[in-house]
Chain A
Amino acid sequence: LSDEQYVNVVRDVFGVTLAGADTEITTGKSVTGEYSNMSEQVGVGTPEAESYERAAAELAPLIVAKLPSLVPACGEAIDAACIESFVRDVVPRAWRRPLTDGERSGLVQIYTDAAQDDASTAAATMIEATLESASFLYRTEVGMEAANAQGAITLSTHETASALSFMFLESSPDAELRAKADDGSLASPDVLAAQVDRLMALPESRAAMTKKVSYWADAERIPLVQKDTGLFPAWTPELRDALYGDVQAQLARVVATGAITDLISPFPIETDPSIVAVYGGTSRPAGLLTHPGILAATDHRQGLSDPVHRGLYIYERYVCGSAVASPPANATSIAAGMQGTERERAAQRAKMSCGVCHARFDPLGLSTEGYDPIGLDAPNVDSSAIISGLGPDLDGAVSGLGDVAVKLRTGRRVADCAAGALEKYALGYSPEAEQSCALRDVKNAFAKSGSFLDFFRALALSPAFRSRDARNP
């Protein structure tokens, strides 16, 4: 589970709501605004184990206090019957599956062994074990016979329910979904479709889908953006928060009712007074690409325009051209030795070995030069560029981001590019190698309608959603 999911499950299953610093379950991770819950990238070492240990110890007494409301058998006093009911009825919700007899008796035994101290302490000890267990911390997707599997694994109905629930709600399955998993009916395509439609209509589901789109759009970086306030006194935390809020509102609108191309079509942004005060009230010609929040977040410099990273942003998030290698070790020193405007530096790069990669995204970056590092109009700066090598749909002269957006809105390139990222965020792993064919139908559906709701629905109903490759790390 990600920290967010851990917090949500604790809230939904145990009725304990965490806030502020208490929502930081694990420690030591950098915050980048990038989606960071890919299964192949996440492991539990000693620091994480200690973090989970600490979180469980802190939560357990709070959950003990909730026992009377969680379990009817728990009255004023905690006793064995109360604990047995808790283990039978509540723990499976936290673990997202039924417990085996051995697991049930093991948890009850922890309580029994510790009950010589006092019942509350004993119950808290049992709850610590519940929360520190791999069955709680890991979302298993191993089916029934995975131990010796060499290829495809079909998820159990409980694993399918869990995958659906975390995709749409970032939390454990609710009662109805759990019931469909328990009775096995979730294996039926009709039942599955009905559950997907039900989940997608929930407000929490819209928020979770919007968040995933926000990660793709790199909008989760906006709250982290820092600028040189000496050069840009208008860049305040309040403005930053307002811009983040505006982007989220735009994303939510398009996720609910629009198509992906709406995100790169002209739209007005300036409804918030603090935004209007800085940026005025004009429409933004290329939607998100020209949104001040995105422009500020994709400019990685604090005081200078940054066509390199802005170009890379468009290249990686909307164009999905061939992969760009990491810059060489001496890239920074080469850049430090360059003189002239950003346009002149791009020309220098094009003549050097740097041009092999930079030629692909530098023109895209130069088309952003009409906006300064915080997204204000820079009217006297040339934003023309000649795109080449990216394909007939994109190659050619452009004059600013408006032209780039016009090109991107044709064809299915942006939909395919976004789908590649959203599949990973929704599934929690990288499906490309094993299921690119199986997910082709999902991408086709998305490219056809452009609707994010259609995309997530098609993904959830895809056969690929219910299978994994045993060889995947």
Chain B
Amino acid sequence: MTTSKHDQRLSRRTFLGGLTASAALLRAPHARAEAKVPQRLLILHRPCGTADTKWFPPTGGATDWTPSSLLQPFVDANLRSKMVVIKGVDSPRVQDWLGDKHGAGMLAVIAPPVPDQGLRSWPIIPGYDVQTINDSNGKFFSAPAPSIDQELLLNLPSLRGAVIPSLQLGSSLQSMRGTGDHCLRVISYAGFNQPLWPECRPDVAFANVFGVAATGQDSASVSRARARRKSVLDFVAADLSGLRARVPSSQYQKLDSHLTAVRALERGIGEVVDSACVRPAVSAPAGATDDQRYLQATRDQLKIVKTTLQCDLTRVLSFTFGFGNSALHFRDILPGGLVNSGGHHDISHNGGTDYLTAQEAIDRFYSQETASLLQDMDSVIESDGSTLLDNTLVVYFNEVSNGCAHDVRDLPILLFGGKTLGLAGGSYLSMANDRRTTADVWVETFKRLGYAKSQYGDAAWNRGPIPGLYAT
């Protein structure tokens, strides 16, 4: 079950089964020329806080804001009119809660905020010992429920129907399954203690996503792959039903749960929309260490992000640039002398020389790579003349603001695209005197997505509407 080329686990989605390819052309089927342009959701995470004094616009107001050093890359990429900058949005958690602050920060943004019950507010994963649970840096906790991307996927038909229900990607090997606790590595969850680990190897991600798309693969080939998958799941469902008829009623709940899961997988065998899309050229990153491979891996993964959304292979995608204690050194990014032996997390905690400059340089790197991705997405013209970015709501966040303090206030969060939802692109919203949380951002977004839910997580973290986030 390992690939011979890299001796890595090949986590290939089965409905794409059986085919791998190295050529570059993906031809989507032509069956749905009338298809409506789909809505997509893209959540991007970068870790370890920002240089908080370099993030928010230093001058100007809601529309004439001056880009800061860290926002300049987005403006340079012509994204100003398609982005919203918000100040005054806090992380819905209490700093003193026991547990790792980076993990807490990640979960607080992407999962329903949990009620403040004192030090032990996070839901504890069974099996952790008392000392770990009582550790202010313990990694003993998990998302309390499905993460925002999975909840929206479950509840919004508009986000379903693609071949891959949702996709989780990253670029640092430190974020991969098997490297440690999940709370500070994972940003998508199927439920409590059910992390959806990101795939961080471009060659494997490529095989996962584009495995079916060999050169010359036509709609008939894709349809046959889908038919094979359906035949398997039909058989599995029939087998479950047959077993159910043979067992006492005490076993029904177990089998019904399984059957529901199989039916959900069947629904995932959707159809590919009618847009020609070119598969990106990616390969296994050169370099043995996470540091050596990181730049290429990041850029290749972001190519996959763009193409996967463009080809409507998925409509719900999350991507993490690195885990909450990232040890990446950024030797190719940081000016000479600023490389710190402890890596990014240590820099964020004031490690090394001139750590503020180093932290700014690293977050600028994330700005630049994200801006490049979004600019690419904005260059993709969809069937109705809008761009791929217009039809994608992009949430770009960091789990803390000031990394050293693990600050919960003024999260450096940006929203992009979302034009079809009415996102008020070009705006700088300062809520500094009327503070909100990320839960409020989600609730505002629910209204636009047609998701009838007026509260996200515990009520105390829902502070109120955010006027101006979306056009009225």
Contacts and interface: CB of A to CB of B under 8 A. Distances in A.
Interface of A: 16, 18, 20-22, 24, 27-32, 34, 43-50, 53-62, 103, 106-107, 109-110, 113-114, 116-117, 121-122, 124-125, 128-129, 132-135, 138, 140, 142, 146-150, 153, 300-302, 309, 329, 332-333, 336, 470-473
Contacts of B1: 16, 18, 22, 55, 58-59, 62
B224 interface: yes
A29 B190 CA distance: 13
Interface stretch (B8-16, B65-73, B302-310): B8-16
Interface in B174-214: 177-178, 190-191, 193-197
Given A49-B258, A53-B265, A128-B17, A134 B239 contact: yes
B231 interface: yes
8 contacts: A43-B254, A48-B261, A106-B238, A113-B231, A117-B221, A133-B236, A333-B119, A471-B250
Given A106-B235, A140-B243, A147-B245, A31 B127 contact: yes
Q: How large is the interface on B (under 10, 10 to 19, 20 to 34, 35 or more residues)?
A: 35 or more
A239 to B, nearest CB: 19
Contact of B125 (A30, A128, A332): A30
Contact of B224 (A21, A114, A473): A114
Given A31-B127, A45-B261, A332-B134, A135 B239 contact: yes
A140 B120 contact: no
B333 interface: no
Interface of B: 1-2, 9-14, 17-19, 119-120, 125-131, 133-134, 177-178, 190-191, 193-197, 221, 224, 227-228, 231-233, 235-236, 238-240, 243, 245-248, 250-251, 253-255, 257-258, 260-262, 264-265
Contact of B127 (A34, A45, A56, A62): A34
Given A114-B228, A133-B236, A44 B247 contact: no
Nearest to A136: B239
A59 B2 CA distance: 10
Contacts of B11: 54, 58
Given A56-B14, A116-B224, A300-B129, A44 B243 contact: no
Contacts of A146: 246-248
Contacts of B120: 329, 332
Contacts of A27: 177, 195, 197
B227 A46 contact: no
B250 A22 contact: no
Contacts of B195: 27-28
B69 to A, nearest CB: 40
Contacts of B228: 110, 113-114, 117, 121-122, 125
Contacts of A56: 14
A129 B248 contact: no
Contact of A53 (B14, B126, B194): B14
Contacts of A147: 245-248
Contact of B236 (A34, A58, A134, A329): A134
Contacts of B131: 300-302
Given A134-B236, A134-B239, A22 B2 contact: yes
A301 B245 CA distance: 49
A55 B295 CA distance: 30
Nearest to A472: B250
Nearest to B239: A133
Contact of A470 (B127, B240, B248): B248
Given A142-B248, A147-B245, A49 B130 contact: no
Contact of A58 (B10, B133, B232): B10
A47 B251 CA distance: 20
A47 B194 contact: yes
B261 A44 contact: yes
